[in-house]
Amino acid sequence: MTTADRKRSMDELAAVIARDIPAGAFVNLGIGQPTKVADHLPADSGVVLHTENGMLNMGPKAEDDAVDPDLTNAGKVPVTELPGAAYFHHADSFAMMRGGHLDVCVLGHIRLPSTATSPTGTPVNPTTFLPSAAPWTSPSAPRTST
């Protein structure tokens, strides 16, 4: 069995995503599995991490004495802050994502029924995690409420 023939572990997938993030990019890490991407970024990459719960310039996971229960990522894992870190309301955090102010957003898996469609009527494949599978993530896409 080759690597291409088997499913990747979540850790392997996080490493692939981290490798594809350009140096110096501003990157949102969503809740859950996307937070693992931070573990695979080189320290000298210049990547600035953004959390959905309202932090910019998040550092690595906090260990031992560095743990501050009030300083967590979106998955409630204790993290550190890097110099110049900023904090804001989670609504502002999502506005930064939706407004196109970040270079990359790593989102978690969303379970959808096989008949799901986007607000534009495009069928959504729940097993595909490509931008084309979720056209409503575009800031210019029409929005509807049900």
Do the Cβ atoms of 65 and 80 come closer than 8 Å? no
Which candidate in 12, 52, 63, 81 is catalytic?
Answer: 52
Catalytic residue check, 81: no
Supply the residues annotated as catalytic.
Answer: 52
